[in-house]
Structure 1
C-alpha cells in the first residue's frame, strides 16, 4: 500500500514518517513537514502528549523557520499508535435503511417505499432508544504507507469501508455524552477492510458474526496519513468519499451518523477506559463493494478523502 496525500486544511497537524530505520513524529503545515522533538512536544512520546493535549506546543513548532522538508519527500506511516481499536457498526442511517429495506422487500409483500418507511422508523427508534454497536479491531492492523495491502488468498471478496476515526486524548472512562467531546485529541482517516464471506460463521450460524477473521488480516486498517487536532474539525459535518480506480463508490456525510461522536465515546467508555491515542471508528457510509458487487483486486487503487483531514491512497497487491 502506498499512501499519497492531499494535506489537511488545518493550520497544522501531526504525522509520523520514516527516518532511516526509525520513525519520527512530525508537524505538518501545508505541504511541508518537520520533525518535532520531545522537548518541543513536552512529552516523551505521542500518546503521552495526547493525554496532556497541549496543542499550543505544536502550534509553536509549526511557526519555526528551520527543519522543514517537502511532504512529498517523506514516507508516512500511520499517524497514531493505538493500544485499543474500537469500531462502531451499522451507524450510518441511510446505509442501514438501505440494507434493511432490501431485506424486507425480498422477504415480505411490502413495496420498496413501504419497506424504506418501515426501516426508517426502525432506525429513528434505534437512535432515540437504542445503543451503539461496537466490536474490537487489532492495533497490529493499523498501518501506514510502508505496508502493502496484500489481499489474502483465502477469499475473493475483500471490501472497503472508509471511516472517520476519533483519536482519544485524555483517558475516557464512563463519561457522559455531555463531557465526551472533551476527551478527543483529534481525527484521522481509516479504511476498514472487510472479508465479506467470513463475517458470518458457516459452521455454527448461532454464533453469529466473526469480526476477528473478517477484519483483522495484516494491513486491514490503513490509517492516516494525518492526525488533525479536534479544534479544527467538526466531526458531525464532514464529507466522506472513496474512489476506486477514480470512480466514486462511497459519497457520504457524517451528519448521517445514527449515533453521533459524543454518543459513541460515551457508549464505548462504559465498558473499558479509552486510552490516549486509541482509535474509535465511527462507521462507514453507503457504497461499499458488497453494494456494488465489486470487490478488491490486485492493482486496485482506493483513494479515500474526508473533508479537512486530507486524502489517503491505498494500492492493493496480490498476496
Structure 2
C-alpha cells in the first residue's frame, strides 16, 4: 500500500533530478525526471538494461554531463511522471546517521528525557543542554552511527509501526548522497564527494533508544531505528550543483496537516561537509551511500504526541520536493 502524492509533482531545484520508478507490473528503473514532471528512462537513453541509480552514481563525474544533455534534448523519449510509481531513489550499501546535530532539537530532547529524581526547573536543564552543545561544537565532535539499508522505503509507501514500538517518532533529515568514494577526506574537499541531496525521515522508537536491561552499554540504534520501512527516502536525488547552499534549507514536517518541524539547516551544529569528512575518517564511503545529517526541533517527544495508526506525515525540504507517508499498525497473528 502507499499514499498517493500530491496531484502535481513537487518542485525541485534545477532542471532535473534522479529517481527510481516503475510502471504498473514492471521492474524498477533509473529515471531522469524534469522539473515539469516528464520522465526519461535512463536504461534506454544510456543503452544499458542493467543500469540502476547506484551504478549511475558510481560513474558520477562522467555521467553528470550526459544527464545535463539528456535534460535539454527534446528528441529523447519521455513519459509522464504521474504514470509511474516512485520508489526510494537509491539502494545504499551504507547509511551513516548523525545524532544530536541540531542545537534546539538536542535541547528539547534533553528536557524531555528527564532523569529519575531530576527535579531541577526546565530553564536550568535547558541551560545545561545548551552548554553541552556549545562544548561539542568547540571540541568539533560530531556523533555518527550506522543504519541499515533494509530500513529504507519509498517516499509514498506506508510505514508499518511494529507492535513492539512503544514510542515511534518522526525525524525529518537532509540526506547527502555520495557520488565519489571518500576515505579520510578533509572538510574542504568533502562536498566534492557528494553527488546530490534527498529527503529522509529517520523514524525512531524512543522507548527502545536506551537499553533498560543494561543501561551501562548505552544506546540501541538497531532496535530503535531499523525496523523495515523506518527510513522513508526521496522522492528524488537533486544534483548538488542545483542546491545553492545545503546549509540554508528549510525542513518542514506536518502530521495530519499540523506543522511539527519547521527549521533551517542553519541550526546544524556540524554542516554537511563536516559530517561527510567525519564519517570518512573511520569508514570508506561508497557511491550511493547516505549521510543523514540530523533532525531539527519539533519531534513527537517535544509535542508529547507520538505516531499511531492512520497518521499521515508530509515532509519537505527546500528544493528537494516532498514525501508523504501513512502510518499503519502492524497486524500480528
TM-score interval w.r.t. the shorter chain?
Answer: over 0.9
Q: Which residue of 1 aligns with 2:54?
A: 47
Q: Which residue of 1 aligns with 2:66?
A: 57
RMSD: 2.3
Q: Which residue of 2 aligns with 1:2?
A: 3
CA drift of 1:110 comes to 6.3
Deviation per CA, 1:178-222: give whole Å up to 9, x if none. Answer: 111110000000101111111111111111111001111111111
CA drift of 1:55 comes to 1.3
Determine whether 1:83 maps to 2:93. yes
Question: Any conservation in 2 of the 1:3–1:225 contact (CA below 8 Å)?
Answer: no
Alignment of 1:30-41 (within 5 A): 30=35, 31-37=37-43, 40=46
Determine whether 1:29 maps to 2:34. yes
Q: Which residue of 2 aligns with 1:249?
A: 260
Moved more, 79-88 or 35-44: 35-44
Cα 1:288–1:59 shift into 2, 3 Å: same
**2:233 maps to which of 212, 215, 223:** 223
Determine whether 1:280 maps to 2:291. yes
**1:17 maps to which of 16, 21, 27:** 21
How many residues are aligned here? 319
CA drift of 1:122 comes to 2.6
Q: Which residue of 2 aligns with 1:259?
A: 270
CA drift of 1:96 comes to 1.5
CA drift of 1:109 comes to 7.8
Question: Any conservation in 2 of the 1:50–1:185 contact (CA below 8 Å)?
Answer: yes
Cα 1:177–1:83 shift into 2, 3 Å: same
Question: Any conservation in 2 of the 1:105–1:112 contact (CA below 8 Å)?
Answer: no
CA distance in 1, matches of 2:131, 2:118: 17
Unaligned runs of 5+ in 2: none
CA drift of 1:121 comes to 3.1
Q: Which residue of 2 aligns with 1:237?
A: 248
Unaligned runs of 5+ in 1: none
Question: Any conservation in 1 of the 2:155–2:234 contact (CA below 8 Å)?
Answer: no
Cα 1:99–1:194 shift into 2, 3 Å: closer
**2:84 maps to which of 61, 65, 74:** 74
Question: Any conservation in 2 of the 1:92–1:284 contact (CA below 8 Å)?
Answer: yes
TM-score, normalized by length of structure 1?
0.92
SS at match of 1:22: coil
CA distance in 2, matches of 1:191, 1:246: 16
